[in-house]
């Protein structure tokens, strides 16, 4: 099997005939080009964070506080980036994080389907958001043999929550990821400044609008009165009262692996596992929900230590490069999810843009493992890192 880093040789060979890559090779350039093609409303929603955006910036900066220690003569001519999650062997440690407006990041308004097709083409699993432009069944159908997980924003309606889970199971999703840090909407000045919240316009609500339980709550179908449907969504989405007492009920909804997303405290991680949760998703929502918090990367080691090696820990927040992926793995992540980079890849280049971003991340991670002497993901323990002196 070729190494992921071989991706660069094709680019250099194309250069011999004067061909340069059409898509950006750095995150900074990717973001610049995405801003040019996205609407003001979509750019604000995806790029923006909570408050001063200090936590969002801190998520990225936290990676610079750690340096990889090179090891020589380690036999790293061939690298194995595969990982095991819930009994399945995945070819890489990458996941596509749930992005609630990925549907409208695409020019044709079907970004969820493009993301699923990119997942199928690359083997990188997709975590599909509750907030999609196309129904979850249509998204799952595009995944092919690549696993898909369903990210659940539990609405303040138990019957509707159960309906979402049942639909996700039937559609073929192989895990349920319950997001806990969005029980109410965070303070987002960028969106407030332009008075824009896409879901209130009926966007990215296909899972609600096609759900029989949700439709039964309406006086008229969503296609006849979309404003009333969006209003009901807002009531159910922004008025959640989940507590630890609800966890047994959530666990009872499915026999699929259940993960809790937004866990950053070791005590919360232990309590979740004790209650029967199968995996922990360490994340601060990319800094989009609450400002003034710790970078998620700083929370990762404590969470991983709390649950032990037998419980998978997924990580996201601030991941911008293949080196970031490796550092998160070394600090205890079992797999690493990426969000904004692939959203911008979609905006700039459609499905091909997502695949390009994933191949760049994997190539950089793979080549760094080769140069620094880490042939396998399992070789990336805490001893692979040292604090960077200021």
Active site residues: 285
3-state secondary structure the chain: CCCHHHHHHHHHHHHCCCCCCCCCCCHHHHHHHHHHHCCHHHHHHHHCCCCCCHHHHHHHHHHHHEEECCCCCCCCCCCECCEEECCEEECCCEEECCCCCHHHHCCCCCHHHHHHHHHHHHCCCEEECCCCCCCHHHHHHCCCCCCEEEEECCCCCHHHHHHHHHHHHHHCCCCEEEECCCCCCCCCHHHHHCCCCHHHHCCCCHHHHCCHHHHHCCCCCCCCCHHHHHHHHHHHHCCCCCCHHHHHHHHHCCCCCEEEECCCCHHHHHHHHHCCCCEEEECCHHHCCCCCCCCHHHHHHHHHHHHCCCCCEEECCCCCCHHHHHHHHHCCCCEEEECHHHHHHHHHHHHHHHHHHHHHHHHHHHHHHHHHCCCEHHHCCHHHEEECCC
Beta strands 83-85 and 88-90, pairing class: antiparallel
Q: CB–CB of 206/134 below 8 Å?
A: yes
């Amino acid at each position: 099997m070729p190494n992921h880093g071989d991706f660069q040789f094709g680019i250099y060979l194309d250069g011999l005939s004067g061909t340069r890559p059409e898509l950006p090779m750095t995150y900074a350039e990717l973001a610049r080009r995405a801003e040019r093609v996205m609407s003001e409303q979509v750019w604000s929603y995806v790029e923006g964070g909570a408050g001063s955006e200090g936590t969002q910036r801190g998520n990225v900066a936290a990676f610079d506080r750690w340096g990889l220690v090179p090891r020589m003569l380690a036999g790293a001519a061939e690298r194995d980036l595969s990982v095991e999650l819930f009994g399945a062997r995945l070819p890489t440690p990458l996941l596509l994080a749930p992005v609630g407006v990925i549907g409208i990041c695409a020019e044709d308004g079907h970004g969820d389907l493009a993301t699923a097709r990119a997942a199928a083409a690359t083997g990188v699993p997709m975590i599909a958001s509750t907030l999609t432009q196309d129904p979850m069944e249509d998204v799952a159908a595009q995944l092919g043999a690549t696993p898909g997980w369903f990210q659940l924003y539990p609405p303040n309606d138990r019957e509707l929550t159960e309906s979402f889970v049942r639909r996700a199971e039937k559609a073929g999703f192989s895990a349920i990821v319950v997001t806990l840090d969005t029980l109410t909407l965070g303070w987002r000045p960028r969106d407030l400044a332009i008075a824009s919240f896409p879901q209130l316009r009926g966007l990215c609500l296909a899972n609600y609008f096609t759900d029989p339980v949700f439709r039964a709550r309406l006086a008229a179908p969503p296609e006849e009165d979309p404003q009333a449907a969006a209003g009901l969504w807002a009531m159910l989405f922004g008025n959640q009262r989940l507590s630890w007492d609800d966890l047994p009920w959530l666990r009872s909804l499915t026999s699929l692996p259940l993960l809790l997303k937004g866990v950053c405290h070791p005590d919360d991680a232990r309590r979740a596992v004790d209650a029967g949760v199968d995996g922990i998703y360490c994340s601060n929502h990319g800094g989009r929900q609450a400002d003034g918090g710790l970078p998620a990367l700083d929370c990762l080691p404590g969470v991983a230590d709390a649950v032990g090696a037998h419980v998978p820990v997924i990580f996201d927040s601030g991941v911008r490069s293949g080196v970031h992926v490796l550092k998160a793995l070394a600090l205890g992540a079992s797999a690493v999810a990426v969000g904004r980079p692939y959203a911008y890849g979609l905006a700039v280049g459609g499905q091909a843009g997502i695949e390009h971003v994933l191949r760049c991340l994997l190539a950089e991670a793979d080549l760094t493992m080769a140069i620094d002497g880490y042939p396998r993901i399992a070789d990336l323990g805490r001893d692979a890192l040292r604090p960077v002196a200021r």
